[in-house]
Amino acid sequence: MAIRYSRDYDRILDDLSNALSTVPQFYEAFEMEESDWNSLSKDERDVCIRTLADDLFYVLGSEPSTDVGLGKAEYDASHGVIKVTADASLVHVVPLRE
C-alpha cells in the first residue's frame, strides 16, 4: 500500500510538519528528552520535524496508522488525507489532493 497524492509533496510536508509540532512529546521519535529538544536551535528543530514528516509519510504508506509521541497519525485513503491527532480535542487534517 502506498500513499496516493496529487498535491505538491513539499506542501504536504509543510502541513504535516506543522501538525506534528503540536503533538505532545513528538521529539521522542528521535529518542530525545525534552531538554535535548529544547537545546536545539530553531533551524535544527525545523530540520528534525521535516525529517519526521518525511519518514512518517513513508511509514503510513505501509501501515495505516502509527503512534507519534503522545499522539497518532493515520492515513485515510478513502478521503485522501493524513490525520494527525495531537490530543482528544486537536486533530489536524492534511490534504493529499489538490
Describe the strand order of the beta sheet including 90-95 as a list of residue ranges. 65-68, 71-76, 81-87, 90-95
Cα distance between residue 77 and residue 88, in whole Å: 22
Q: What is the pLDDT of residues 18-75, one digit of tens each?
A: 999 999 999 998 889 999 999 999 999 999 999 999 999 999 999 999 999 999 999 9
pLDDT at 60: 96
Q: What is the pLDDT of residues 2-16, one digit of tens each?
A: 899 999 999 999 999
Q: Domains of the chain: which residue ranges?
A: 9-95
